[in-house]
Amino acid sequence: MLLEGKKLLVTGASAGIGRAIAIGAAHHGAHVAINYHADDDGAASAVEEIERAGRRAVAIKGDVADPDSAPAFVEGAAEALGGVDVFVSNAGICPFHAFLDMPRETLERTLQVNLHGAWYMVQAAAQRMVAQDRGGSIIAVSSISALVGGEFQTHYTPTKAGVLSLMQSAAIALGKHKIRCNALLPGTILTDINKDDLSDPAKRSYMEGRVPLGRLGQPEDMVGPAVFLASDLAAYVTGASLLVDGGAFVNLQ
């Protein structure tokens, strides 16, 4: 019960990592608001699971690429839950594509969802936390891709480096308000985002072979690191980044 009574908001929580963090946080005592874009059934079932854990839950639909969705989510969630203590910026897309013939719309949508969306959401959450004057924790789901390249991710990796950088600068801007800002850097976690890419058995076994812990990640592997950064156990942790990759990043030689 590391998050007893805290009000926690997560973007992109109808599926995958965001959903796991939302439900995991509820099991640690948090009341939870989720944002999502399209998957009404996924959002409704996440709300059900949070409520089954005995916590308050609300789902607010919105496209994070739309700047107006940020204040709408934060203020709607704060009203429903009674404030904002923890904000997890997680929504993201990764439409794998080659570099040389990247469609302009694919590049621009990826930048708008992953980077602009995170920026506006984090700003709206910070504005609310400053107004409340009781500090807070902001966590952005960046990626191992902030640190390493990917042939079919030339549009995606810069957004994840940007999100990591956003947490570093926001940690400085918000320290005086006792708001901590940290980044999670997942390695390969089995979700819809990479289902097609990993449907090739050769690619999947290559990726598994690169992980010292011997398996790819599950969304639930992200819960402990997120709960830690959200909780008072991390009271002196800000501007930090935490790789959650089974050791893949250091496995070069």
Q: And the tokens for 146?
A: 């902030």
CB of 156 to ligand NAP, least distance (A): 7
CB of 234 to ligand NAP, least distance (A): 20
Is residue 46 within the footprint of ligand NAP (CB under 6 A)? no
What's the gap between Cα 65 and its chain centre?
Answer: 15
Q: Which stretch binds ligand NAP (CB under 6 A): 16-24, 71-79, 205-213, 235-243?
A: 16-24
- In this chain, which of 15, 21, 88, 126 binds ligand NAP, going by CB under 6 A? 15
Q: Which stretch binds ligand NAP (CB under 6 A): 58-66, 75-83, 96-104, 196-204?
A: 58-66
What is the distance between the alpha carbons of residues 122 and 87, in angstroms, rounded to a whole number? 8
Nearer of residues 200 and 235 to ligand NAP, judged by Cβ: 200
Provide the 3-class DSSP secondary structure of residue 7: strand
Q: Which stretch binds ligand NAP (CB under 6 A): 78-86, 92-100, 124-132, 172-180?
A: 92-100
Active site amino acids: 143, 156, 160
- In this chain, which of 7, 28, 36, 183 binds ligand NAP, going by CB under 6 A? 36
Mapped to the 3 state alphabet, what secondary structure does 73-138 carry? HHHHHHHHHCCCCEEEECCCCCCCCCCCCCCHHHHHHHHHHHHHHHHHHHHHHHHHHHHHCCCEEE
- In this chain, which of 113, 124, 170, 183 binds ligand NAP, going by CB under 6 A? 113
Q: And the tokens for 124?
A: 């709206």
CB of 134 to ligand NAP, least distance (A): 27
With beta carbons less than 8 A apart as the criterion, state whether 127 and 119 touch.
no
Is residue 143 within the footprint of ligand NAP (CB under 6 A)? yes
- In this chain, which of 8, 129, 174, 193 binds ligand NAP, going by CB under 6 A? 193
Q: Restricting to residues 122-141, which ones interact with ligand NAP according to CB under 6 A?
A: 141
Is residue 94 within the footprint of ligand NAP (CB under 6 A)? yes
Phi then psi dihedrals of residue 47, to 5 deg: -60, -45
Q: And the tokens for 44?
A: 């409704």
With beta carbons less than 8 A apart as the criterion, state whether 192 and 16 touch.
yes
Neighbours of 46 (CB within 10 A): 26
Interface residues toward ligand NAP, by CB under 6 A: 11-18, 35-39, 63-65, 90-94, 113, 141, 143, 186, 188-189, 191-194
